[in-house]
A and B are shown apart, each in its own frame.
Chain A
Amino acid sequence: MFGYYLDLALRSLKRNKVLTALMVLALALGIGATITTLTVLKLLSGDPMPQKSAQLFYPQLDPYPVSQPFSRSGKRMPFLLNYVDAMNLIHAHKAERQAAIAMSQVKLTPPSGAGKPFYAQGVLATADFFPMFDAPFRYGSGWSAADDDSRAQVAVIAGDLNARLFGGANSVGRMIRIEDHDFRIVGVLRNWAPQPRFYAVHLGGHSYGKGEAVFVPLQGARADGMMPSTMMGYGKSIDVEHLESAPAIWLGLWVQLPDAADVAAYKLFLGNYAQEQVALGRFQKSHIALSGLMAWMRSEHVVPEDVRLQAGLAFGFLLICVVNTVGLLLAKCLRRSREIGVRRALGASRGAIFAQFMVEAGIVGVVGGVLGLVFAELGLWGIRHQPAQYADLAHLDLAMFLFTFVVALAASLVAGLLPAWRACVVAPAPQLKDA
């Protein structure tokens, strides 16, 4: 039966080529725009660390004085920590793992004769950074907490920097010159670039794109005078010579808490810590916050607003295309009242007519989906050639590929419902009389 409907549908679509082409084209444009924007939205709002994000938490404290609040509305907490609090929390060891992070643009000088110095994104972090974020090593490993304390001049470098400076060879044990100081390489990462770069939110730099080039121990790098990209003061001014004791926030802290009991315990610890600091006179406010990774991404609006607007716009556009398809399918089916009358008179049931028209709509959907896929690839190609920081990442994955057909088929079947219903309620007698 399906084969017969398919044959009928194809005949009918062939009979009026212009109208069919219009339907397919309109649907394909709507699908193409929707899939393009959804791919980007999915890419940007995805989970940067699916296997671990449920265990990663971002604690916040408020060292700001009452007379100079961080936010006037009182709704937002300072989004970074000062050095003293970050170190107190790390040394308390209340979480399974904990790492303080700052970002810095650093000058890298290639070994003599291997090119000019250049700037790259550097991460200043404490030892737990690598195991906590599951950073994959190609050679060597991260550094130890002892290296943190002894201000060791060691570095972990990214795979592409290793390829650039050392031709991809095992460079562990070799030296790299960062900000005119020599660091010994202890580890080389594989390609590692979580999207978005959740650990860098508010620390400076981009939210998306390629990963960082070098990672150095926080204290060692600071001893060499490396400056964090972002610092915010809550005193008279920031004494950059003594940033560790200055009233300034410039560090992000991440902690790993495996289960709900750990989270509750850490929250309690954080609350007690803040109250202790109030008692000591260091803090004037005892409120705290502990956000999960995905909640933190949402509350800090990491996904660019324009991307969400574009997705909304594309859905509006798809809706217009569907309404358009409903209209055109309806026009076609009403024109064929006579044919329907004959089929009904020859014994076709209402259900059969309904099925026939739905098959026709489905064909429009599948063809529209294929063409829509072409438009989506075209749209993504366009996005890859935009200067946006996430441009390189815009590719259609298998899930989106299949989703395209689901959307196309669903849209066309929804569009086909009304015309098919109108077709199946056509009364056969008047149509036959008319002929």
Chain B
Amino acid sequence: MEIRPILSSLRRHRIPAVLIVLEIALACAVLGNAVFMIGQRMANIHWSNGIDEAGVSVVTVNGTDPGLAASDIPRDLVALRGIAGVTAAAPVTSMPLDQNPALTGFTTTPDGKTTVNTSVYFLGSGGERALGLHLLQGRFFNADEYADSGLKDFQSTGHVVLVTGSDAQRLWPGQDALGKTLYANGESWTVVGVVGDVLAQDPNFSGPGGRYSSVFYPSRPDGMMGDYVLRSAPQDRDRVVREAVQALGRLELGAVVEGKTYAQMRTDYFADTSSMVWMLVLVCVVMLAVTAFGIVGLTSFWVGQRRRQIGIRRAVGATRGHIMQYFQTENFLLSGAGVVLGMALAFGINLYLMRHYEITRMPWYYLPVSALALWLLGQLAVLGPALRAAAVPPVVATRSV
């Protein structure tokens, strides 16, 4: 395909050509950044979590008399374990993603300093199995450790702790974490086990450093334990939650009992994020449609204006394919200029967003991908007008001269 005649024709129609290039450039820049933001948010929504999310449900009991916890909690647990389908039940102080963070900074020396916000969990007897923690190294807590530990001012009075794999690597790089001592606020605990990474109680608040930083302590029943973790088969969980709320409602008359599956808890935590994702997707789709409309409109106009010229070309021997190719190549060149400009613009927007918002650098491959998408869009949009151009009969050339 000869490009020169196309270029010389475009030079005569500078303004419409510039408009198409500009429109494609803007669309390319917005698309690249929007897709990048969608990708980042989707990654957040799918953060992995080292508990049995499909099988865990949580029943929260608030407003009980903390002084009665030592007798109330064992009584409640008997009732919960009696529900058909419940394979494990345990009281805990909080849950990953429950948006009610209890954070402490932990160090490997008595007077060390840290900037990492670590989520602190206290588990009642059997809590590791109820949550479905994955043991990577060492062991879970034994019965003595549960009986001998409690909490005061949200610090463990026991001597043992479980840490996550990420924390084990961060705190003791290249070493075995088992048997090491963890310090906070003048107290210390021995690491007895390492578990798979559990998400923080509020990862958006804790930041990237604290996302997978969690510690687990054993504890005897305590008034601070407001959540019961129930584990069941995934298909039973909705019924288990319903029955558990009813059972505890009968036992804890003055309390407020609420239950939800862990799947619901994750959905709730990421509700804002997923509505932003939908909004971005919607804007991208509509924007691409508008851009395509613009290309169809301008190219149609061009075809209409050049009917005579097309007729003459057909009369002197050009095939329909040649005419099609002409418009396709023309669009290819315009889109090409558009996406080059658009990629530069996308990079600039990303730099601006990085300075003013909490947004990271866009990986380079987003640029060619969005460029390719717009190139394809341009070719699709030009198809209709190009077909109409190819259908112009050669006889047009002889008319109305």
Task: List A residues at the B interface (Cβ < 8 Å).
Answer: 19, 22, 25-26, 29-30, 33, 72, 105, 107, 109, 116-119, 179-180, 236-240, 304-306, 308-310, 313-314, 316-317, 319-321, 323-324, 326-328, 330-332, 334-335, 386-388, 418, 422
Contact = CB atoms under 8 A, between A and B. Distances in A.
Chain B binding surface SS class: helix
Contacts of B280: 313
A29 B34 contact: no
B23 A305 contact: no
A38 to B, nearest CB: 14
Contacts of A330: 15-16, 19
Interface residues of B, number: 50
A304 B272 contact: yes
Nearest to A320: B26
B39 to A, nearest CB: 15
Contacts of B175: none
Contacts of A116: 249, 256
A26 B298 contact: no
Contacts of B297: 19, 22, 324, 327-328, 331
Interface in B15-65: 15-16, 19-20, 22-23, 26-27, 29-30, 34, 37, 62-63, 65
A328 B276 CA distance: 31
A85 to B, nearest CB: 21
B290 interface: yes
A22 B293 contact: yes
B294 A323 contact: yes
B290 A117 contact: no
Interface SS of chain A: helix
A309 B256 contact: no
24 contacts: A25-B293, A30-B290, A105-B62, A117-B255, A237-B155, A240-B153, A240-B154, A305-B357, A310-B279, A313-B280, A320-B23, A320-B30, A320-B287, A323-B23, A323-B26, A324-B23, A324-B297, A327-B19, A327-B20, A327-B23, A327-B297, A331-B297, A331-B298, A387-B271
Contacts of B20: 327
Per CB-CB distance, the 3 closest pairs between chain A and chain B, nearest first, are A331-B301, A107-B63, A324-B294
Contacts of B27: 320
B290 A306 contact: no
Interface in B90-123: 115
A335 B291 CA distance: 21
Contacts of B283: 33, 313-314, 317
B316 interface: no
Contacts of B246: none
B63 A323 contact: no
Contacts of B353: 309
Interface in B288-317: 290-291, 293-294, 296-298, 300-302, 304-305
Residue among A30, A304, A323 with the highest chain B CB neighbour number at 10 A: A323
B144 interface: no
A418 B22 CA distance: 15
B294 to A, nearest CB: 4
B358 to A, nearest CB: 7
B275 interface: yes
A308 B27 CA distance: 19
Given A237-B154, A316-B30, A328 B294 contact: yes
Nearest to B26: A320
Given A317-B283, A323-B19, A327-B19, A107 B256 contact: yes
Nearest to A105: B62
Contacts of B169: none
Given A22-B297, A237-B155, A331-B298, A422 B15 contact: yes
B290 A324 contact: yes
Nearest to A383: B275
Contacts of B268: 387
A246 B363 CA distance: 47
Contacts of A107: 62-63, 256
A116 B364 CA distance: 57
A53 B363 CA distance: 43
Nearest to A30: B290
B19 A320 contact: no
Contacts of A306: 272, 276
Contacts of B16: 327, 330-331, 334
A109 B254 contact: yes
Kindly name the residue among B65, B279, B302 whose own CB sees the greatest number of chain A CB atoms within 10 A. Answer: B279
Nearest to A225: B66
A109 B186 CA distance: 40
A335 B23 contact: no
B271 to A, nearest CB: 4
Given A117-B254, A180-B63, A308-B357, 9 more contacts: A72-B115, A117-B63, A237-B155, A320-B27, A324-B23, A327-B298, A331-B300, A335-B305, A388-B272
B78 interface: no
A241 B290 CA distance: 63
B153 A237 contact: yes
B153 A117 contact: no
A33 B286 contact: yes
B179 to A, nearest CB: 25
A317 B154 contact: no
Contacts of B62: 105, 107, 119
A239 B286 CA distance: 56
Nearest to A385: B275
